[in-house]
Every structure is written in structure tokens, then in C-alpha cells.
Structure 1
């Protein structure tokens, strides 16, 4: 699958099936009645332990749902529906930028209310597909969610998704963490912002209309990500690829939300930048061949490295650059202040330069 073909749905939900495996024990025959008795006792103990483990897991699910679901809300933006997570006791709610779109006024429904509540946009940050809105009044029973440490998320970890798939508010589904550290680009059509986002959490849970901006929660009851993207499978007519969804990690959510709440905007993005405006160019066979520099920001990273308009960037570090998207994905894996090698062509000749990345 071409991971660059990833689109953000306006409203998504991770869904997966719960499997409770049975234990299989294989024992050799030693021709002893006492051995057979011992094996019978072991098998009986194992059979008794299996339902006990399942009950413990179910209890964990019930506890987490009871603790976290009151923190997950449904957001109505015009005729569109999405999800959000209550961030603090002042009524701030974090969600996806593609959920709020270009609107500033919203109706919010909580897990314990039938009447919707008025909310207003604080600020949106489409570059990371995150936004914060604020309830005009905070009703009883609504409490902030606890956000976890994204660096401790592990592959195979069980996660629960909470949100409003297809408008079904306060829905809960489950899956596992399939991978971490993914860099993906969401489409700008279909409601996405076109953002390239690094360090995302991949989950086996599918993203369906309704759950974007909701909560991906571990069994400690901590939000580890905001479900945002679903992979697109061109072989299925550009429909969602089952079992491949992505969530913005909690660490980035906290970084962006804290700045928006304190300053009304993002003041320190933590996103690396070259300081150029570019466009994809093609070769004689009409295949993408690099990023032509249209404009260089004065004093930016590329400017300091001697890059000029008309140069064509073909590599950043060890990553080949063929399109503006591949350049964005290479930058998403780096940080401001990182030093790397920039390879570009000028008048048909290849040049390299050491560049210290700036901030977007």
C-alpha cells in the first residue's frame, strides 16, 4: 500500500473485533495413572484460569469506559459531525482541524446530556490537524481526560476508541497498536487538511465517519492519541483499507493544545522546515523528479545553505525527494536545529550543502 495515499475522513472511528483465545496444552503419555491424574488437574486449573483472565480483561474495559467516556463529546459543525476530548475543567475541547473546518461556532453533545451545548473555536492548527474549541458553559458530569506518555506506547498494546461513529455518540470499540512512529500525509480532498504528520500511532482499528477527533485510550485509562486518518486502498476503489488507522500521539496533542489555550495560537510548532516554497517537477518521462524551489525565505535554512529559486531539491539526508509530499514527509521525521545534507540540482549540475533546519 502506498502510505502517501492516506486521507483524513471528517469523522472516523477505530473498530476491531475482540478475540479471547483458548489455551491448548499438549502432554506426552508416560504410561502412568498418577501422571494422567496430574495432567487432569493441570488441565482443570488451566480451564478455570481462562474464563478468569477473560473476566479480568472485561473488568478493565468496563473501568476504562466508565472513567474516560464522560470526557468524550460529539461535535456538530454545520451539517458535519465529529468527536472531541475534554481537555481541562475550563471547557476546552481538543479535536481535529478537519472536524472544525472553517467554522467558528459549534454544538457539542456530551455523554450525559441530550441537549447540545454551544462552543466556539479558540484556534485551529491545520499543519498538525489539531484544533481547540471551548464550551460556553461546562455542565456537571463532564471532566477532563488524562493524557498518557506517547513514548511508552508499545506495539500490541490494547486500545479502546471512543467517539461518535456515523453520529452514534458515546460509542466504544477496541483494537491494538499496530505500529508507532509512522509519518503519513492526509489528503486535502474529502475534508482533510493535507497535513503531513510524523510519529503517528498506527492501530488495527478502522477509522470510519464519526470518530475523528475522539480518543484512543489504553487500559490505564489514558488518552494515547487522537484518531485522525484512515488508509486508502486504491485497489478497493479508494475506499478505506480495513485495519489501518492512525492517531496523532498524545504528546503532540498536549504540545499544540497547551499553546493554543495559553496564547490563542501555536507559537512553537516543533516542526522542521527548510524555509522554501516549492512545487513538484517531472522528468522527460513525466515522472516526479524533485521539488523546484519557487521562493526562498530570507534568513531561512535553505537561504543560509545557499539554495536559490530555480534549484531542484532531489534528496534530504538519505531520503530521495521526488515530490513536495515526499519532502514534507522527510521533514516530518526531523526536528528544528537538526543538521543534515541537502542535495539539489542547478543548471543540470548536482550540488550538496549542509543545512541546519529551521522551524515551520
Structure 2
């Protein structure tokens, strides 16, 4: 009889817990749906790199101000922001605070969904948190974990991070700049890094993700918004390729009929050059009919154009002469 009563009580307790668990799961789902609207994908294009860098960002204002990590955009020639609605923009790097690993981007947009800002001072150990971002390029990935530590100090990549939020919610390359949110769908941190320990003396650690508390990030972001942009008048065009002066020997090696021009040595993915059909090994010999003999000549001609201009490149591919139309994009910094 006693055992039967104990069993009945356990069943009742389990049944009572089911609605609570269901409520928590629904709360988590709603938080993700709410927060995903204002987490953006970032792709960066750097000279000499054929594939873009990957990162994430958080929309702070409806008129196009976006917060991300400085290391996401550092050294990038062009920064592309992709919204959840499918629209893409070339962003300007408005300001960077490299010592705090934060950067403010600006896109020409309006009516954007804006992040709900939480209070990182109220974050507690053991609290459930959700990381949203683009780890390894998997857009809009959601991972769930707990807060495992507060006020953590970490030094890595030459940056001294202070007062970080530690979490075991999975953070990977590409997650940087994304949001760490609570179950109310409020951002409480900017995902910054996963720490695997010192370079020597330890086996590689796992599950140590860190986020910059949103209170300090927002305070800095307000200062960056009101300051002058890094390049207030920057409107330099971007073609998205690297090259070298074509020599008779190079022409012979690539089987190119032309003897002067610019030999393309790399093409950035998704760049105007890539979209226009330019390939490694092509030789550019003219832009809009103006002869191109050297790299400095090509850069000088391009400097006379503006982002959005359409140009026609005369290209030799082996023994074939091509004319390829290309629309120039804008450099971000």
C-alpha cells in the first residue's frame, strides 16, 4: 500500500511538471522568433581572399545602425549585410573600437526591426540563454545553453576582454557579433569568442563561449553613433579582384594572345568581378575602351568612377577576346 501511494505521488508530480516544461519550451520558441528578426548575417570581402569572411550583427536602430565585433570587419574592403527578409546591403564601417572588439555598421535602410535590449547587470548564474548567429555560415543558427560565469576576463587575439558573460551555448566562427538573448527575447550580450585555452600547456577546452555584456556594448554604441564616421565621404568603387602586370612570360604561360595588361591573380567571391564573369588567368587590357597597361593604370581609371557605375572590361582569355559588363560596388572602409 505504501509503495503504491509513493508511485501514485511520483506519477502526479511528473504529470504536473509536463505543463511547466511545455511553457518553458514555448517561451524559448517565442524568444527565438522575436530575436531572429533583428539578427543579421555579415559577409566580409578582403583583398587576396577568394571566399568571404563570416559574421553576424544586431540591429540597434531602424535607420540602419548595426552592432558587431570589430574582428568581424577588420581589414575588410567590403562588408555585406543580409537581412532576414532576403534583402542585402553594402555597409559602411561607421566606427570601430578595436580595443573593445566592437564595431558599428551603417546601411542605407529604414523601418528595420530593432533589438529589444535587456539588462546584462541582472544576468544570473544558471540562467538559460540563447545564441543566434551564423556559425560556419549556417545562417540563423540557434543554440541554447546556460550562463556558466560572470565578469570573466579573457585575453586573446591581442584583445583584453573584460567582464564577459560565459556560456555553454555553442559559439563558433561566424557566431561573432550575433546576439545572446534571454527567454524574454532580449539581447543581453554580443557573442564574441569561443576560448579553447592558452596555446600550450592545456588540452583544448570545449564549451567556453563568451559574450560582451549588452550594457557596456550599448554604452559604447551610443558614443559611436554620435561620433563622425570613420570615412564620412568614402564612396570608392570596388571591383573585387587582384592582379599583376602582364609580362610576355606570363602571357606565354597562360596562353594569352595579349602582351600588355593586368593579369588577374584572384577574384573575390560574390564581387562585381565574379558576377561579371572575370576569372583567374584573364588579362584585362581595357576599361570602356581605354587601354590598361599596368595595375596602377587600372586603379587610376577605376578611381574616376563611382559605386553603381557600369563599365565594360576588355578581357583576353587565352586566345579569345571578350567584353564583359561589370557594375561597380562600394568599399566599406
The normalised TM-score by structure 2 is 0.63
Task: After TM superposition, list the pairs within 5 Å mapping 1:35-184 onto structure 2.
Answer: 35-36=2-3, 38-78=5-45, 79-103=52-76, 105-113=78-86, 115-138=87-110, 142-184=112-154
Q: What are the Cα deviations for residues 236-262 of structure 1, in whole angstroms up to 9, with x where unaligned?
A: 998862111111110111011101011
Question: 1:106 touches 1:118 (CA, 8 Å); kept in 2?
Answer: yes
Partner Cα separation in structure 1 for residue 162 and residue 32 of structure 2:
28
Partner Cα separation in structure 2 for residue 136 and residue 232 of structure 1:
38
Question: 2:147 touches 2:166 (CA, 8 Å); kept in 1?
Answer: yes
Partner Cα separation in structure 1 for residue 25 and residue 223 of structure 2:
37
The DSSP-based 3-state class of the residue aligned with 1:248 is: strand
Q: What are the Cα deviations for residues 198-226 of structure 1, in whole angstroms up to 9, with x where unaligned?
A: 11111112331110000001112111111
Partner of 2:285: none
Partner of 1:245: 209
Partner Cα separation in structure 1 for residue 30 and residue 116 of structure 2:
14
Question: 2:131 touches 2:171 (CA, 8 Å); kept in 1?
Answer: no
Partner Cα separation in structure 1 for residue 198 and residue 36 of structure 2:
35
The DSSP-based 3-state class of the residue aligned with 1:258 is: helix
Q: What are the Cα deviations for residues 92-139 of structure 1, in whole angstroms up to 9, with x where unaligned?
A: 1000000011336421111221x422211110110100000011224x
Q: What are the Cα deviations for residues 275-311 of structure 1, in whole angstroms up to 9, with x where unaligned?
A: xxxxxxxxxxxxxxxxxxxxxxxxxxxxxxxxxxxxx
Partner Cα separation in structure 2 for residue 198 and residue 220 of structure 1:
25
State the shift of 1:153 in Å. Answer: 0.8
Partner Cα separation in structure 2 for residue 238 and residue 40 of structure 1:
48
Question: 1:186 touches 1:229 (CA, 8 Å); kept in 2?
Answer: no
State the shift of 1:67 in Å. Answer: 0.7
Q: Which of 209, 213, 217 is equivalent to 2:177?
A: 213
State the shift of 1:183 in Å. Answer: 1.2
Partner Cα separation in structure 2 for residue 120 and residue 216 of structure 1:
24
The alpha-carbon distance between structure 1 residues 57 and 95, as it changes in their structure 2 partners (threshold 3 A), is same
The DSSP-based 3-state class of the residue aligned with 2:155 is: strand
Partner of 1:314: none
The alpha-carbon distance between structure 1 residues 264 and 241, as it changes in their structure 2 partners (threshold 3 A), is farther
Partner Cα separation in structure 2 for residue 203 and residue 164 of structure 1:
17
The DSSP-based 3-state class of the residue aligned with 2:208 is: strand
Q: Which has the higher contact order (CA 8 A, sep 6+)?
A: 1
Q: Could you tell me which runs of 5 or more consecutive residues in structure 1 were left unpaired when the two chains were aligned.
A: 1-32, 188-193, 267-360
Question: 2:144 touches 2:170 (CA, 8 Å); kept in 1?
Answer: no
Partner Cα separation in structure 1 for residue 188 and residue 201 of structure 2:
31
The alpha-carbon distance between structure 1 residues 65 and 236, as it changes in their structure 2 partners (threshold 3 A), is farther
The normalised TM-score by structure 1 is 0.58
| 4+ runs deviating over 3 angstroms | 35-38, 233-240
Question: 1:106 touches 1:119 (CA, 8 Å); kept in 2?
Answer: yes
Partner Cα separation in structure 1 for residue 171 and residue 228 of structure 2:
30
CA RMSD of aligned residues (A): 2.2
The alpha-carbon distance between structure 1 residues 65 and 239, as it changes in their structure 2 partners (threshold 3 A), is farther
